[in-house]
A = this chain, B = another copy of it.
Amino acid sequence: MPHFTLEYSANLDARVDIGKAVEVVRKAAVETGIFPLGGIRVRAVRCEHYAIADGNPDLGFIAMVLRLGEGRDLASRQKAGEHVFKALSAFLDPVFANSKFALSFDIQINDKEMSWKRNNIHEALKETSKVEAPAHG
């Protein structure tokens, strides 16, 4: 159940393609190999009103949080987190080069005893992969 949420200052509209940013995170999350594909959900929340550091409205930020289920050890979480962070950070190199900007990423663990889910995407992905699988002779 990896849930990535990126809150971002609205002044990024002119500096970053946020649609691409969430796709960068999604791809990097897949690459870690520790998340079930059908559970990956990345989204961005635009914040029209913000006040950063000394209040200069040109400052920008993206603050990403991953909420994750229990069951992976710390080393695995750190390795996966590092991979996703590096991918997003590299994508944002032009933003760092051209503006004053703060990127952050934190992982939280969901309590499995207070967690519910219903999901028909896993099943759909299995069917898709069957349909798309090459025929074997």
A31 part of interface (Cβ distance < 8 Å): no
Complex: A117 Cα to B86 Cα, angstroms: 10
Pairwise interchain contact A89-B118, C-beta atoms closer than 8 A:
yes
Copies of the chain in the assembly: 3
Pairwise interchain contact B39-A102, C-beta atoms closer than 8 A:
yes
By a CB distance below 8 angstroms, the chain B residues around A5 are: 7, 47
Q: Which one of B9, B19, B100 contacts A43 once the chains associate, using CB atoms below 8 Å?
A: B9
By a CB distance below 8 angstroms, the chain B residues around A54 are: 37, 125, 128
Please give the distance in Å from A132's CB to the nearest CB on chain B: 11
- A50 in contact with B63 given A1-B104, A113-B74 (CB within 8 Å): no
Pairwise interchain contact A96-B115, C-beta atoms closer than 8 A:
no
Q: Which one of B41, B81, B113 contacts A50 once the chains associate, using CB atoms below 8 Å?
A: B41
A130 part of interface (Cβ distance < 8 Å): no
Pairwise interchain contact A82-B49, C-beta atoms closer than 8 A:
no
Please give the distance in Å from A12's CB to the nearest CB on chain B: 11
Complex: A113 Cα to B106 Cα, angstroms: 9
Instruction: Apart from A41-B102, A43-B61, list 12 A-B contacts with CB within 8 A.
Output: A7-B45, A26-B52, A37-B53, A40-B53, A53-B125, A81-B114, A89-B118, A92-B118, A102-B120, A105-B115, A106-B116, A107-B114
